[in-house]
Copies of this chain bind each other. A is one copy, B any other.
Amino acid sequence: MKLKIKQQILMEHLNNAIKGVSSKNLIPILNCIKFDLREEGLYLLSTDNDIAIKTFIKKEDIEAIDTLGEVVVSGRYIYDIVKKLPSTIINIEEVVDSRLYIYTETSSFYLNCNMVNDFPQIEFEDHRNPITLPQKVLKNIYNQTAFATSNQETRPVLTGINFKIQKDQMECTATDSYRLSKKIVHLNEEVLEDINVIIPTKNLSELVKMFLDDDHFVELHIFNNKIIFKFDHIVLMSSLINGTYPDTSKLIPETFKVKIKTNLHELYDAIDRASLLTNESEKNTIRFESHGQEATISSNIPEIGNVKETIFIEKEEEEDIHIAFSSKYMMDAIKSLEHEEVELLFNSEVEPIIVKNKENPNLIQLILPIRTY
């Protein structure tokens, strides 16, 4: 393998490939990036066995392709080296004793290579019927649901986001069993077969960080045991989480006894301040009480002090609500809404709270109350 390439171009692609390199030091080959130089251009590949990334630099973007070939080299070192090289043309060449020679006019690096055959074989195949979405849509799904994912490995299915697709409707759900986020997206085309998969949230996090342009599209190729995302010049493959996602369809109440409307930022700021006098060990519990067209949010730490916040609300029902919940969970839920107004829907102090916006019925946030009364 021998080529010349501009530092900026190689760096841009290494920025993506490095995201697939294992952060653990257990299996050396998984710390590597594979360079595969072909007629059509340079492929960079990385995988930690849970995620795999392929990024492609087309030959027009390469200064010179002298010898085709493959090398496998430490991802972290090649990334750091290219990052610190000046903005110039870099020569990269495989030399004797399976070493990679990376040089410019004044810098010369030799890196020991790993065996090409040791690098995992990755199949980035196409599905017959991929789903196509604007990158912005998938990024919003992530931003509006991922925070509700569990990070407890004891229930692996809850560490992912459930994508349930029937016809032209895609329902994305995340829950840690104390709260739930559900976002419904309408697809442009119907799927031929129902799909029900759980995608690891941490892999979706890496994916959306690579999205550069909200208007560009991303293709979802969904298989039984993996999902492949194709966008721009990048292919990202993620494992799927085995297991059955809990049926959450009956959790969300259809009717509510108390419906409150209020300004999103005022509610958020009041909860944010009230949360100053809560303890993480006690789930940052705050109390919320409506009194006609006013609500108070209060909390206390006995040895420190107490706080009471007042906000104006709109409420049509006579009935009032006295309830307690986690300030952190409520703030996460409120933040995910995109409008100036927020609706809080209640039935009783022991039933789920729904947080949503009237204009956007496709995003629902559910929080379980905390019993303190």
Copies assembled: 2
Q: Which residue on chain B has the smallest CB distance to residue A103?
A: B308
Q: Which of A109, A272, A306 has the most CB of B within 10 A?
A: A109
17 CB contacts below 8 A, A to B, read A74-B304, A80-B276, A81-B307, A84-B272, A84-B276, A85-B273, A86-B269, A106-B311, A107-B270, A107-B273, A107-B309, A108-B307, A108-B309, A109-B307, A110-B307, A111-B304, A112-B305
Interface residues of A, Cβ cutoff 8 Å to B: 74, 77, 80-81, 84-86, 99-100, 106-112, 269-270, 272-273, 276-277, 303-311
Q: Are B86 and A276 in contact (CB under 8 A)?
A: no
Q: A99-B305, A107-B309 are in contact. List 17 more A-B contacts (CB 8 A).
A: A74-B304, A77-B304, A77-B305, A80-B276, A81-B307, A84-B269, A84-B276, A86-B269, A106-B270, A106-B309, A107-B270, A107-B308, A108-B307, A108-B308, A111-B305, A112-B303, A112-B304
Q: What residues of chain B lie closer than 8 Å to A108, measured between beta carbons?
A: 307-309
A245 → B minimal CB distance (Å): 37
Question: What distance in Å separates the Cβ of A75 from its nearest Cβ neighbour in chain B?
Answer: 12
Which residue of B is nearest A311, CB measured? B106
- B-side contacts of A273, CB under 8 Å: 81, 84-85, 107
Write out the residue numbers on chain B whose beta carbons fall within 8 Å of the beta carbon of A310.
106-107
Q: Which residues of B contact A112 (CB under 8 A)?
A: 303-305
Chain B residues whose C-beta falls within 8 Å of the C-beta of A80 in the assembled complex: 276
Determine how close the nearest CB of chain B comes to the CB of A101; give it in whole angstroms. Answer: 9
Q: A74 contacts which chain B residues (CB < 8 A)?
A: 304
- Judge whether B270 and A306 touch: CB under 8 Å: no
CA of A277 to CA of B86 in the docked complex: distance in angstroms? Answer: 17
Using Cβ atoms and an 8 Å threshold, which residues of chain B touch A81?
273, 276, 307
Measured CB to CB, the closest approach of chain B to A343, in angstroms, equals 20
Q: Which residue of B lies closest to A84 (CB)?
A: B273
A272 to B107, CA, bound (A): 11
Max chain B CB contacts within 10 Å: which of A81, A99, A304? A304
Given the contacts A84-B269, A269-B84, A77 and B276 also touching, CB distance less than 8 Å? yes
Interface contact A109-B269, CB-CB below 8 Å: no
Question: Which of B86, B111, B305, B307 is A107 in contact with, Cβ under 8 Å?
Answer: B307
CA distance A336 to B372 in the complex (A): 58
In the complex, A129→B5 CA distance in Å?
A: 64
Q: Which residue on B lies nearest to A81, using beta carbons?
A: B276
CB distance from A210 to the nearest CB of B (A): 25
A316 CB, nearest partner CB in chain B, Å: 23
Interface centre among A277, A305, A309 (most CB of B within 10 A): A305
* B277-A109 in contact (CB<8A): yes
A109 to B109, CA, bound (A): 61
Min CB–CB distance A211 → chain B (angstroms):
30
User: What are the residues of chain B within 8 A of A270 when measuring CB–CB?
Assistant: 106-107
Q: Which residues of B contact A306 (CB under 8 A)?
A: 109-110
Given known A-B contacts A84-B272, A84-B276, A273-B84, A109 and B305 have beta carbons under 8 A apart: yes
